[in-house]
Amino acid sequence: MLSKMSKSDKTMFYYLGLSLLLLIVLGVLFGISSVKESFSGNKTEREEYCYNQGVKKAKKNKKLWKKKRSLRDFTKDELNKYCETKFGKCTERNCYAYDKTKVSDYGKDVARDAVRKWVNNNL
């Protein structure tokens, strides 16, 4: 069958095959990235704010924060854990009572407690 086709028909058939292959590869790549994105840790606005305020609070102890990587890691892990537990499933409907001040205070309290716990265990 291919021997009876003209040269332009064969070229068109070749380009259609390459285009189809390219579309399949792109579909697989974008499909994998969207699945990966849906399983990644997308934080809620309140959860992110809680984490950021806690990090700001912990950074006020500048000497310790800059020198001790284990303190930074421990504090960030604690903030991730507690902020996610408290605000991870928040929507406007079920967390309307948590305004920015309450979220900020909670993040700061978690950071303060984490730094104290780290200092007691490591110094």
Q: 60 and 115: one domain?
A: yes
Count of domains in the chain? Answer: 2
Q: 56 and 35: one domain?
A: no
Q: What is the pLDDT of residues 29-64, one digit of tens each?
A: 887 766 655 555 677 788 888 888 999 988 888 888
Q: What is the pLDDT of residues 61-76, one digit of tens each?
A: 888 888 888 888 988 8
- More confident call, 93 vs 10: 10
Q: 23 and 53: one domain?
A: no
Domain carrying residue 27: 2-39
Q: pLDDT value at position 24?
A: 92
Instruction: Write 84-92 long-range contacts (CB < 8 A, 24+).
Output: 84/43, 84/47, 86/47, 86/50, 87/44, 87/46, 87/47, 87/50, 88/43, 88/44, 88/47, 89/44, 90/44, 90/45, 90/46, 90/47, 91/44
